[in-house]
Amino acid sequence: MTDESQGMLLGLAGIVIFSLTLPATRYVTPYLDPLFIALGRASTAAVVAVIILFIFRQPFPNKQQIKQLALIALGVVIGFPVLTSWAMITVEAAHAGVIIALLPLLTAIMGVLIAGERPSIYFWLISLFGAGLVVVYALLQSEQGFQFGDLLLFAGSLLGAFGYALGGKLSKQLGGWQVICWVLVVAFPFIIIPTLMTQPKDIFVIPDSVWVSFLYLAFMSQLFGFFFWYKGLAIGGIARISQIQLLQPFLTFLAAFILLGEGFDNTTFMFAIAVVLTISISQRMPITIQHERKNDVKNISG
C-alpha cells in the first residue's frame, strides 16, 4: 500500500471520529458552560496523554518543537474547540456544516503556507468544486440563515486548519500520536484553571448521557481521533489528505439526524457520491513538496 493510500485510510478514520464532535457538542451545551466543554475536554484528555507518554517513555521535544506544539494548541486545543462550543449555543449542528465545509480548503492552504506543499492548479480547481458542493448541500439542509455563530465557526475553522497543518508537519518528526499528546501536555497548565472555574457546581444533576458525550469529546475528538488524523497528514500529504474532510459534513448531518433528530433527506446520498468522486479525482492531481533545507523539489503526484 502506498503512503497516499495509507494516509487516506488513516485520515478517513480520523474524520469519522471528528464527525460526531459537533452533534456531541450541541448535545451538551444546554447543561455545561461552553468554555468548560472546550477546555475541560482538553484537560481530561491531557491526563490520559501524560499516562500514554510515560508508558511509552517518549523523549521530551526540543525548544523549537515545544514552540510549534504551543502554536498547535492554540488551534486545536483552544481556538477550534472554544469557538465551536460557543457557536453551538445558537447554531444547529447541521447548519454548522456550511462553515465546516471550508475546512478542507483552509487546511490545504495552510499546507502551502506551513509545509511548503505546492498543489497543481487542477488540484485547487477540484478542491474548490468539492467545497462548493458541500456548501450547497449544507445550505439546502439548513433552515437557518447567516448569523453570528457562523463567524465563530469560520474563525474556529481557520485556527483548526492551522493546527492541522502544523501538526501534520511536526508529526513527521515526532509521530502522529506523540504530537497531540505533547500538545495537550503543553496546553494543560494554561487551561486547567479556566476549566476548574467553569466546571458545573453539581455534577450529579447532569444526565449521564451528557457526561458520556463529554467523554467522547475528550477521548475521541480531542485525543484518539488525532492519532489517525495527524499520522494520515504526515504520510499522505497535508493538502491531499485534507480533502477527506469534505465527507465530514455528511457524516455530521447523519449523526445530527440520528442523535439529535435534526433534518436529513435523500439528497444527502447524491451529494455524498459526488463528493466521494471529487475526493477520488483530487488524489490523482500532482502535488510537490518544497523541502525547507534542500533546494530540490520532490514530486509526489498521485
Structural domain boundaries of the chain?
3-299
119 bridge partner residues: 287
Nine-digit cell string for 265: 433527506
Q: Give the whole-angstrom CA distance, residue 242 versus residue 239.
A: 5
pLDDT at 46: 98
Q: Model-level pTM?
A: 0.85
pLDDT at 144: 55
What parts of the chain have a pLDDT lower than 70? 93-99, 138-139, 141-147, 262-266, 268-269, 290-302
Q: Give the whole-angstrom CA distance, residue 289 versus residue 74.
A: 25
Helix axis angle for 248-255 and 3-18, nearest 10°, is 30
Nine-digit cell string for 125: 480547481
Given the C-alpha cell 466521494, which residue does it identify? 276
Q: Which amino acid is at 172?
A: K
pLDDT at 265: 61
- In angstroms and rounded to an integer, the radius of gyration of the C-alpha atoms of the chain is 19
Residue 217 CA neighbour count, 13 Å, CB half: 32
Angle at 138 (CA atoms; ends 136, 140), nearest 5 degrees: 70
Q: Residues 75, 164: contact at Cβ < 8 Å?
A: yes
**58-79 burial code (b ≥16 CB/10 A, e <16):** eeebeeebeebbebbbbbbbbb
Among the listed residues 108, 151, 143, the one whose alpha carbon sits nearest the alpha carbon of residue 238: 108
pLDDT at 207: 96
Q: Give the whole-angstrom CA distance, residue 69 versus residue 66.
A: 5
Given the C-alpha cell 480531542, which residue does it identify? 222
pLDDT at 301: 35
Q: Residues 168, 233: contact at Cβ < 8 Å?
A: yes
In sequence order, what E strands does 1-154 have?
117-119
Q: Give the whole-angstrom CA distance, residue 259 versus residue 237.
A: 33
> H-helix or E-strand containing 267?
helix 267-282
Q: Give the whole-angstrom CA distance, residue 184 versus residue 302.
A: 33
Angle at 222 (CA atoms; ends 97, 87), nearest 5 degrees: 40
> H-helix or E-strand containing 297?
strand 297-299
